Structure formats: structure tokens, C-alpha cells
Amino acid sequence: MVTEKVSLKGKVIWFFGMCGAGKTTLADLLAKELKEKGHKVERLDGDIVRKALCKELGFSKEDVFENIRRVCYVADILSQNDITVIASFITPHKANRLYLKTKLGSRLILVHVMTSVEECIKRDPKLLWKKALNGVITNLAGLDAPFDPVDHSSGFTIDVPTSKRSVEDTYGTLIELLRFWYYEI
């Protein structure tokens, strides 16, 4: 049986995982490749959105949910207009992910960027782990704030492990997994 490939046009590809897992790196690579292939793509990244759309929000569970709710609203509008949205947000709570699935339905592709806390601490691109370990900041998901386990029964999620792997190898795995699930890349 031959299964027809599904276009990524109008899909929301939502990368989530702990700080330093590699979400932004993978999302940027995918956005670049899709744009080169002629897709209309918009990138929504946690750091950029927090500066422009959600700058008054903190990192309490309620503020994190509000941040995700606002970004989901923007992603919904864009995807309904056949734009492929590539989002990268920590999205630490199961309730956040269920909300996305409820609002975006079959347009949502969740990509869990899986990395150990130890690896994230080693990478620490924004020095957030160092600040949290030294008590300068609080509510870092995976350290002093929860990062809920991924519940695969609640919706489609692609797991992409990044620990001790090159960016190229990890990105190759992502593309293979997307193609495996019949997405046209």
C-alpha cells in the first residue's frame, strides 16, 4: 500500500524541550530548508516573542501558559492562511501541550527535543542554568520548576534525541522522522 505524502503547508511544527536542548537550532535549520524549497514559513521563537509580544510575563506556571496561549493564537492564524509555522518554546507543562493539540488539532506536529539536564547544563547557551544553579534566577524548567514528562497518548509527538550527537546527525534524524510520518519535506 502506498501512502500519499502530506504537505507541511499550513502545519504548526512546535519544538519543545528544556533550555539548551537544541530547539532553536533545529527549528532554524528546518525553516531554512523549507524556505529554500519554496514554502511560506514563519518562525516563532520563545526569546523573540517574549521581547515583543509577552514582555510583561514572568515564568510562573500561569505566565508560561499565557505565553503559550498567545503564541498558539498567532500560529493558528498563520497556519489557517497556509503558512508553515515553526515554533520553538520550552512548553514544560502537559497542560500547555494539550492546549496546543486542542486548538490546532491535526495542523500541529509536536517535536520533543530530548536532552538530559546534565547535557543542557553543559551547553547552557544563555547561561540560564548557571544563573539558576547560583540562585540568581528561579523557575527554570527541569531544575527548580517542573518539566512534565511527555505523554504520547495525548497526541502526535516526534521525539528527537540530541544528547552527545552532532547538529547534523540530529537534524538528519528529525527529517527522517518527519518523512517516516509521511510529511513531504
| Of 69 and 161, the one with more pLDDT | 69
Q: Where are the beta strands (DSSP E) in the chain?
A: 6-7, 12-16, 41-45, 84-88, 108-114, 157-161, 183-184
Residue 151 DSSP SS3: coil
Closest CA to 167 of 44, 13, 23, 14: 23
Give the pLDDT confidence score for residue 153 in this predicted structure: 72
Q: Measured between alpha carbons, how far is 79 from 159 in angstroms, rounded to an integer? A: 22
Domain boundaries, the chain: 6-184
**Quick one: pLDDT band at residue 155, thresholds 50, 70, 90?**
low
CATH class of 6-184: alpha beta
Determine the length of the chain.
185
Give the pLDDT confidence score for residue 157 in this predicted structure: 86
- Does residue 14 have a pLDDT over 70? yes
Q: Which helix (H) or strand (E) holds 15?
A: strand 12-16
Q: Measured between alpha carbons, how far is 121 from 59 in angstroms, rounded to an integer? A: 19
CA angle 89, 163, 118 (to 5 degrees): 85
Verdict on whether the full-model pTM lies above 0.95: no
User: What number of other Cβ atoms are within 10 A of residue 180's Cβ?
Assistant: 9
- For 51-59, what is the mean pLDDT? 78
Give the pLDDT confidence score for residue 42 in this predicted structure: 97
Mean pLDDT of the chain: 88
Quick: pLDDT tens for 117-152.
Answer: 999 899 988 888 898 899 898 888 888 888 988 887
Give the pLDDT confidence score for residue 1 in this predicted structure: 45
- For 27-39, what is the mean pLDDT? 95
Q: Of 30-39, 40-49, 85-94, 138-147, where does mean pLDDT reach its minimum?
A: 138-147
